[in-house]
Amino acid sequence: MACYETSEALEARGMLDAGDTGEAGDTSEARAAGEAPEARVTGEAREMLDAGEARVTGEAPLYPMLQSPSFKDYIWGGDRLATEYGKRAPRMPVAESWELSCHPDGPSEVANGPLAGMALPDALLRWPTLAAGHGRRQMPNEFPILVKLIDAKEDLSLQVHPDDAYARARENSQGKNEVWYVVDCEPGAKLALGLSQPSPPELGKGAPGRRGELLSRISDGSIMELVRFVEVRPGDCFSVRAGLLHAICSGVLIAEIQQNSNITYRVNDYGRLGADGRPRPMHLDQAADVIDAELTAANDRDGIHGHSTDDIDGCKQTLLTDWPFFRTRRLDIGNASGAGAGSGATAAAGAGGGTSAAGRAGDGAGGGTSVAGMAGDGAGSGATAAAGSSRGACLVATPDSFHSLLALSGGMAIHCDTLAEPLVLSKGDSVFIPAGMGVYTIKGAGSLLITDIL
């Protein structure tokens, strides 16, 4: 079993032998009924998580927290997040699901265990060390990331985001650097990623009249003649830096990991009307301030160094982004390739013969947010191969950072000491692993994105 932490670090933390927490329990009855299995905790963890005043004054609760997302019904969105991922949004289209969010425009909620129903920012306000040891950041206002699934049925507007310096000075916000992981796409689908290089010298940094030239090209639409379009396939990954002119084009389903910001400067919306029948607002002056015509975005499909960082015991870890803001890795467990999450398969690969299909039920609260569930194969026991598999990878959530997990496929389950039963993952599930939770194991066969802070 692969363990993505050094033995010296594990030994120092007294966790060297804590990676495998035993065999799975049976969550089939709850899942077959369309309910989310409660993450039951045991021993000292249960005492620590008891309701009431102890929850406020006691230690931080340390267990894997399944997230229930917020939704956005932007006009360019589709229905795949509802039909393929079981996201129960209150309205269609389902353009975005904010899978892990402390942003006031759409916080996620804890969907399992003793904190079920609590908004994630409320949990971090009460226990700041859940995100980072010793509350070194002001939580939840300075929570570093926002994780989304984005379904583009139509082209998104051509747009740009500010960096930290500009956003804090003008918007009282973090900047917005982001990573796009292509979960699935139609053949021939594209992304708009910056300007074709070399860009016109009059648009370069320090060029006289640069801002006026940008405004002129944006206003008359000729900027579109310079935009670089890149054809994509599932598994591609691009770092979209602040200042890069960009757009997600039709037919692409993206997992986006970004700084915790909702600041977008729209440059071109192709003349379409918003839901109110009026043109959507443009932000040309701000865009001209922040566009960097010389920025590009490379495809980091095989890792930012062109190769995987680990390949141990059938588990492959690929470093996709390593920024000061956050780090994102793709973890492929068992036979998973990492690129094919868009196929819709959620069967738990491997021994046992049991298969499962994604099935969810809305929790009736929080404006139509959903809780993940998986149906059994109808054989009676309903135990999934993921829950009982001996294959997998162990990871360590140190006190320095939380882990954000986003499942690109089903067929996996999380095991740890504070769960009496494994937490089985469906495609598209998001889980918050608290800082300092220690060793946990992901068993089965599938792929997921792991994001933490350094």
Which residues are part of the catalytic machinery? 266
The Cβ-side half-sphere exposure at 46, using a 13 Å CA radius, reads 7
H/E stretch holding 211 reads helix 210-220
Half-sphere exposure (Cβ direction) of 413: Cα atoms closer than 13 Å: 34
> In angstroms, what CA-CA distances link 234 with 218, 248, 269?
31, 14, 26
CA gap 28, 180 in Å, rounded: 34
Q: Which of 87, 112, 108 is nearest to 98 (CA)?
A: 108
Query: What count of other Cβ atoms lies within 10 Å of the Cβ of residue 310?
Result: 16
Burial annotation 279-304 (CB, 10 A radius, 16+ → b, else e):
eeebbeebbbbbbbbebbbebbbebb
Contact 319, 303 (CB under 8 A): yes
Which H, E and C letters describe 376-424, residue by residue? CCCCCCCCCHHHHCCCEEEEEECCCCCEEEEECCCCEEEECCCCCCCEE
CA 227 to chain centre: 27
Q: Please state, in angstroms and rounded to a whole number, the distance separating the CA atoms of residues 196 and 173.
A: 30
